[in-house]
């Protein structure tokens, strides 16, 4: 009896034991997922029993329920009971069945092998291009993926003030190799005829300016769509002409553009140059070393075996496969994709040289000192034997050596200049230098100026260089030749070979001398002007751009770093533009396609950050009276000010703002009327004012008469009057202008801050105490918060019929499902007259300026609004506006400057 009872109990506990075993098996598989193959767990008795079919008795003891609606009898053969038995037995075995083992990752030692590292690096560059200094930056910088590249934003250590000190007193280094270079070739007159369609002389010097056309200076210009000036701008570019060879009309031009601009610029260049015929790149067969150099090889000797303990290299699975090589240039482009376009009618050729030329930027007054210590003019090679290198053949020509000596003399004179800003802007110097790795110091040293005032001849040369620039013949460089660039890249000595040569020196630690087998590198030094506008901090942020052939990035980067420079990323590029009071692309080009795309991306990023905060911790921008905290609706602003200026209602609108109290029904009526007006007459797109003559006139009107400076050369500026304002407005409708507001008291401007018109009472307060704080904006009422809360409560207690009604109502305008607490929904009401002070524009960049010592901002204001504001202000207070940050109710007085 007792034995029978024990057997029954064991049978009743059997299913539970099997279930626990299945759960344990899953847990063990989960634990063993990432374990090495050497770690194993013994298989349990239950698993083996289940695999052998021992679980059938357990399945038979399970309770089976009769099926519903089946035509089979539950107890009959082939009925529902049998099907359920088989199904449950399979589900039990499926839980015990082992999952597919994941692919085992290689060990760290295998992953760190040189060949495997290169294969992995090449695979990771398929989507985003790596610069040649990527690995150096990835160890020290926060990296982001932008514009198809992987770029460094800011260092992992605090260096904001040290970077500013480097720009102001020493040198700051940046890698700008992600900028795209487009090469144009052809006859000069045909090139100019095509490029003239993209520019206008009213906006400044163009491609055809004499000082740029000679090749002695680098130029910059804003490019528009063909024949569309002043509308449809594409963005700013810098360009450099190759110095003209006497007797030849064939010219060569390099255009450097931001990667966000390339997709818009390249098709436009192909259109105006009529270069629509893509030239397929030549497919070169891969030639192995054995085929390229058929040298006699020794027969394999079985006796020559490796000694015990010798290191063995991992052999490739396929001996015929070439070794892995690092990608140089744009590795994301397919080998068959065209990079050259030709025109059969005009003979012009366009080459895409993206990632073919490396560009480093050195910013600061001692940039020339860093270059002087890093670069050494190439030594002459007297070897008479034939060599695959380009330099020995180049040295055989006496004219080439004469030009090289002239360039060396100019470079030596450059070492004695005190500051980089003393040189003419855009100066170009061609040079051929030795491998800078040969003169690499053993430890980091800070480059210092070497000014020698004793030699009278050098002083005269320095004065001539600072006044006239580099002679035209010294602007030549063999970097323009594709064959020379490829020769230098292919014949570069590896670091391993250099280290082997250093180990063979008689005196350890001594420097290697430049030998015939070591390559000479052609480079271009392009002067970058600093601050060229305004009356203060002239030439601040000037420096040099160093252009190199691809493959030599790290060979020049490390020697530059060892001269004590400070390395910066994208963040300091933006701050450099702010301190120069220059617009930064694409942040400050809202009328360009790239600028509008950037604004949309920035709004999505800010909105995502805003949504991640809890509702109780978000800023309620509706109560602050800020309609667009994450973007700047320039089009709507220009349209509203155009209507106000046309109807003459700007003054009436501004006077009524101080006592205006908006209610919900008034807001809805205003939005509806605005939509009707927009549907009746589609507005024209706004433009940014870039006419130099108009900018000078508007700049003179913004300044009080006491500090106004006349820059016209012939005659004085036109006085501010109603007739002058009317004519100016008629010439520049729907326009905004670039301004630089400077805070007159404490405070720090932020992005998307509002620039507003002060009332008469505000100007009286400012006249009594210029350092006083400005007025306050009265809090606004959030009309949507109650609707959101009410709909949330009703949704919790709603019946199914009410839920369907709520879904139907959600398609209406401003439904609670589309609203975000604290943000005004689209479409926006009047952006100009929403607050107690009339809005003129917004700030695109703002921060505390270390160069000025107070808060400074950069932004745009409406031309129509600014003209009417200046016309109503007293002469001694012209250019005084109010600035208010998006999350603040406090206005602060600012002085607006238009720098030309």
Q: Is the peptide bond before 393 cis (omega within 30 degrees of 0)?
A: no
How confident is the model over 313-321, as a mean pLDDT? 45
Looking only at the bridges linking them, the beta strands covering 357-363 and 428-433 are unpaired
Q: Is the pLDDT of residue 256 over 90?
A: yes
The pLDDT assigned to 534 comes to 77
Using left for φ > 0, alpha for ψ between -120 and 50, and beta otherwise, residue 793 falls in alpha
Kindly report, residue by residue over 845-870, the tens digit of the pLDDT. Answer: 999 999 888 999 999 999 999 999 99
- Residue 587 — very low, low, confident or very high, per pLDDT cuts 50/70/90? very high
Distance CA 658, CA 776 (A): 11
Mean pLDDT of the chain: 80
CA 187 from chain centre, in angstroms, equals 34
* Residue % of the chain over a pLDDT of 70: 75
Q: What is the pLDDT of residues 272-301, one digit of tens each?
A: 999 988 888 766 544 433 333 444 344 444
pLDDT at 543 over 90: yes
The pLDDT, as a whole number, for residue 302 is 40
pLDDT (tens digit per residue) in 151-172: 999 999 999 999 999 999 999 9
Structure tokens at 681: 């007459």
What is the rounded average pLDDT of the residues 601-607? 94
More confident of the two residues 324 and 694: 694
| pLDDT greater than 50 at residue 738 | yes
Q: Do 509 and 499 form a contact (C-beta atoms < 8 A)? A: no
Tell me if 582 sits within 8 A of 425, measured CB to CB: no
Q: What is the pLDDT of residues 354-412, one digit of tens each?
A: 999 999 999 999 999 999 999 999 998 876 567 788 988 888 888 999 999 999 999 99
Better-predicted residue by pLDDT, 39 or 727: 727
Least confident piece of the model among 39-43, 62-66, 311-315 = 62-66
To 10 degrees, what angle do helices 80-96 and 2-31 make?
50
pLDDT in tens, 438-493: 999 888 999 887 665 555 567 888 888 888 889 999 999 999 999 999 999 999 99
Least confident of 75-89, 343-357, 509-523, 843-857: 75-89
d(CA 216, CA 194) in angstroms, rounded, equals: 22
Verify cis geometry, omega within 30 degrees of 0, for the bond prior to 718: no
| pLDDT at residue number 608 | 93
Phi, psi of 145 (to 5 degrees): -105, 110
Rounded to whole angstroms, how far apart are CA atoms 736 and 731? Answer: 13
Asked if residue 676 has pLDDT above 50, the reply is no
Q: Which residues of 179-197 are buried (b: 16+ CB within 10 A; e: fewer)?
A: bbbbbbbbebebbeebbbb
178-279+329-354 has which CATH code? 3.30.70
CA of residue 754 relative to chain centroid, distance: 26
842 close to 755: Cβ distance less than 8 angstroms: yes
Question: Residue 310, exposed/middle/buried by CB under 10 A (0-12, 13-18, 19+)?
Answer: exposed
709/291 Cα distance (integer angstroms)? 73
| Whether pLDDT at 547 is above 50 | yes
Q: What six digits make up the tokens of 365?
A: 């007054």
Round to whole Å and give the CA distance between 503 and 510.
10
| Contact between 61 and 11 (Cβ < 8 Å) | yes
**pLDDT number for residue 768:** 82
Q: Which residue has the tokens 């400012």?
A: 766
Q: How far is CA 742 from CA 690, 756, 847, in A?
A: 21, 14, 10
Task: Give the Cα separation of 644 and 628 in Å (integer).
Answer: 21
List Cα–Cα distances, 301 to 122, 346, 382, 469, in angstroms.
37, 64, 42, 66
418, pLDDT greater than 80? yes
**For the ranges 89-103, 680-694, 740-754, 801-815, which has the lowest average pLDDT?**
801-815
Residue with tokens 């670039």: 738
What pLDDT score does 855 carry?
A: 92
pLDDT score recorded for residue 244? 87
Q: Inform me whether the pLDDT recorded for 253 exceeds 60.
A: yes
Q: 749 to each of 292, 838, 847, 855, 878, how far by Cα in Å?
A: 64, 18, 6, 6, 21
Mean pLDDT of 554-574: 95
Residue-wise pLDDT tens digits, 58-73:
333 433 334 434 444 4
- Residue 727 tokens read as 């004519």
Distance between CA 882 and CA 759 in Å, rounded?
10
CB atoms < 10 A from the CB of 657, how many? 18
pLDDT tens column, 257-272:
999 999 999 999 999 9
Q: What is the pLDDT of residue 81?
A: 47
The domain ranges of the chain are: 118-157, 167-175+373-493+515-580, 178-279+329-354, 611-646+685-706+718-787+818-897
- The span from the CA of 592 to the CA of 231, in Å, is 9
Report the alpha-carbon distance of residue 234 to residue 267 in Å, rounded: 11
CATH architecture of residue range(s) 611-646+685-706+718-787+818-897: Beta Barrel (2.40)
Q: Which of 199-208, 515-524, 632-641, 675-684 has the lowest mean pLDDT?
A: 675-684
pTM for this model (two decimals) = 0.81
- Sheet order of strands, 340-342 included: 219-224, 233-241, 250-257, 180-187, 349-352, 340-342, 277-279
3-class secondary structure, 143: strand
Alpha carbon distance 221, 204 (integer Å):
7
Report cis status (omega within 30 of 0) of the bond before 698. no
SS3 313: coil
> How many other CB atoms are there within 10 angstroms of residue 853's CB atom?
8
pLDDT > 80? residue 100: no
State the CB neighbour count (10 A cutoff) for residue 402: 11
Percent over 90 (pLDDT), the chain: 49
Integer Cα distance of 866 and 741 in angstroms = 13
Alpha-carbon span 855 to 484, nearest angstrom:
50
- Give the highest mean pLDDT range of 209-213, 641-645, 680-684: 209-213
Q: What is the model's pLDDT at position 699?
A: 92
How is the chain split among helix, strand and coil, in percent rounded to 5?
40, 15, 45
User: 593, 625, 693, 682: which is closest to 829 by C-alpha?
Assistant: 625
82: burial class by Cβ within 10 Å (0-12, 13-18, 19+)?
middle
Distance CA 137, CA 135 (A): 5
Quick check: 678 pLDDT over 50?
no
Which range has the worst mean pLDDT, 108-122, 343-357, 642-656, 805-819? 805-819
Q: Which residue has the higher pLDDT, 801 or 350?
A: 350
Task: State residue 893's pLDDT score.
Answer: 93
Q: What is the pLDDT of residue 505?
A: 87
Model pLDDT, residue 94: 55
Contact 867, 729 (CB under 8 A): yes
Provide the angle, in degrees to the nearest 10, between the axes of the packed helices 553-561 and 367-374: 120
836 secondary structure, DSSP code? S
The pLDDT tens digits for 743-786 are 998 889 999 999 999 999 999 888 888 777 889 999 998 877 77
Separation between Cα atoms, residue 456 and residue 865, nearest integer Å: 58
Separation CA 658–CA 655 (nearest Å): 7
Distance CA 20, CA 7 (A): 20
How many CB atoms are located within 10 Å of the residue 623 CB?
A: 14
pLDDT at residue 41, rounded to an integer: 54
């Amino acid at each position: 009896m007792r034995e029978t009872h024990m057997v029954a109990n064991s049978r009743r506990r059997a299913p539970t034991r099997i279930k626990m075993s299945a759960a344990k098996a899953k847990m063990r598989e989960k634990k063993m997922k990432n374990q090495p193959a050497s770690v194993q767990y013994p298989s349990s008795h239950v698993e083996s029993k289940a695999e052998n079919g021992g679980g059938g008795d357990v399945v038979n003891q399970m309770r089976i329920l009769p099926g519903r609606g089946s035509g089979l009898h539950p107890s009959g053969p082939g009925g529902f009971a049998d099907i359920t038995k088989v199904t449950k037995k399979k589900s039990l075995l499926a839980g015990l069945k082992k999952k597919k083992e994941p692919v085992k990752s290689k060990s760290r030692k295998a992953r760190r092998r040189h060949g495997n590292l290169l294969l992995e690096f090449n695979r990771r560059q398929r989507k985003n291009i790596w610069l040649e200094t990527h690995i150096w930056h990835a160890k020290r910088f926060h990296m982001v993926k932008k514009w198809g590249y992987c770029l460094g934003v800011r260092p992992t250590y605090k260096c904001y003030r040290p970077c500013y000190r480097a720009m102001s007193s020493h040198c700051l280094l940046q890698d700008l190799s992600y900028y795209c270079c487009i090469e144009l070739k052809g006859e000069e007159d045909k090139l100019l005829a095509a490029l003239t369609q993209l520019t206008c002389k009213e906006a400044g010097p163009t491609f055809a300016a004499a000082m740029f056309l000679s090749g002695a200076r680098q130029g910059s210009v804003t490019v528009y769509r063909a024949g569309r000036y002043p509308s449809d701008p594409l963005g700013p570019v810098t360009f450099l002409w190759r110095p003209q060879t006497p007797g030849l009309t064939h010219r060569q031009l390099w255009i450097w553009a931001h990667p966000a601009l390339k997709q818009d610029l390249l098709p436009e260049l192909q259109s105006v140059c009529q270069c629509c015929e893509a030239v397929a790149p030549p497919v070169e067969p891969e030639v192995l070393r054995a085929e390229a150099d058929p040298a006699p090889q020794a027969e394999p000797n079985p006796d020559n075996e490796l000694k015990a303990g010798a290191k063995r290299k991992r052999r490739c699975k396929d001996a015929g496969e070439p070794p892995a090589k690092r990608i140089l240039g744009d590795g994301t482009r397919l080998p068959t994709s065209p990079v050259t376009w030709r025109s059969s009618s005009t003979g012009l050729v366009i080459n895409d040289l993206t990632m073919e030329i490396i560009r480093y930027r050195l910013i600061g007054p001692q940039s020339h000192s860093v270059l002087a210590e890093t670069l050494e003019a190439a030594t002459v090679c007297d070897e008479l034997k034939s060599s695959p290198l380009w330099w020995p053949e180049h040295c055989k020509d006496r004219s080439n050596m004469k030009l090289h000596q002239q360039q060396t003399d100019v470079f030596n004179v450059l070492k004695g200049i005190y500051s980089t800003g003393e040189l003419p802007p855009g100066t170009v110097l061609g040079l051929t230098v030795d491998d800078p790795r040969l003169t690499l110091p053993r430890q980091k040293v800070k480059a210092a100026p070497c000014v020698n005032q004793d030699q009278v001849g050098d002083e005269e040369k320095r004065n001539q260089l600072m006044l006239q620039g580099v002679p035209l013949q010294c602007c030549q460089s063999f970097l323009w030749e594709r064959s020379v660039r490829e020769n230098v890249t292919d014949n570069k000595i590896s670091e391993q070979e250099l280290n082997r040569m250093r180990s063979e020196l008689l005196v350890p630690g001594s420097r290697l001398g430049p030998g015939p087998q070591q390559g000479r590198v052609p480079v271009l030094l392009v002067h970058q002007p600093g601050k060229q506008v305004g009356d203060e901090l002239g030439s601040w942020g000037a420096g040099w751009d160093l252009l190199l052939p691809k493959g030599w990035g790290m060979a020049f980067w490390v020697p530059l770093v060892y001269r004590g420079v400070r390395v910066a990323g994208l963040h300091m590029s933006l701050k450099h533009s702010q301190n120069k009071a220059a617009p930064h692309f694409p942040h400050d080009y809202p009328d360009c396609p790239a600028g509008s795309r950037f604004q949309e991306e920035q709004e999505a990023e800010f909105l995502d950050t805003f949504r991640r905060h809890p509702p109780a911790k978000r800023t309620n921008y509706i109560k602050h009276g800020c309609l667009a905290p994450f973007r700047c609706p320039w089009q709507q602003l220009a349209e509203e000010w155009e209507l106000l200026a046309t109807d003459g209602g700007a003054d009436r609108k501004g006077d009524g703002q101080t006592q205006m109290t908006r209610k919900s029904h008034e807001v809805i009526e205003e939005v509806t009327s605005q939509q009707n007006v927009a549907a009746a007459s589609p507005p024209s797109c706004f433009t940014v004012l870039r006419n130099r003559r108009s900018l000078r006139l508007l700049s003179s009107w913004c300044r009080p008469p006491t500090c106004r400076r006349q820059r016209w050369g012939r005659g004085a500026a036109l006085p501010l009057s109603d007739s002058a304002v009317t004519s100016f407005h008629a010439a520049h409708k729907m326009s905004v202008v670039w301004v630089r507001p400077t805070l007159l008291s404490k405070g720090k401007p932020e992005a998307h801050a509002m620039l507003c018109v002060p009332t008469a009472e505000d100007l009286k307060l400012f006249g009594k105490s210029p350092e006083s704080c400005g007025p306050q904006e009265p809090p606004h009422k959030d009309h949507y918060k109650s609707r959101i809360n009410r709909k949330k409560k009703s949704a919790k207690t709603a019946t199914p019929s009410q839920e369907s009604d709520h879904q139907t109502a959600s398609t209406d305008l401003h439904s609670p499902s589309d609203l975000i607490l604290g943000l005004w929904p689209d479409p926006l009401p009047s952006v100009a007259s929403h607050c107690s002070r009339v809005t003129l524009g917004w700030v695109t960049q703002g921060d505390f300026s270390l160069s000025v010592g107070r808060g400074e901002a950069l932004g745009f204001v409406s031309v129509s609004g600014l003209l009417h504001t200046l016309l109503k202000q007293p002469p001694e207070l012209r250019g005084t506006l109010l600035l208010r940050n998006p999350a603040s109710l406090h206005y602060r007085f600012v002085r607006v400057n238009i720098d030309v």
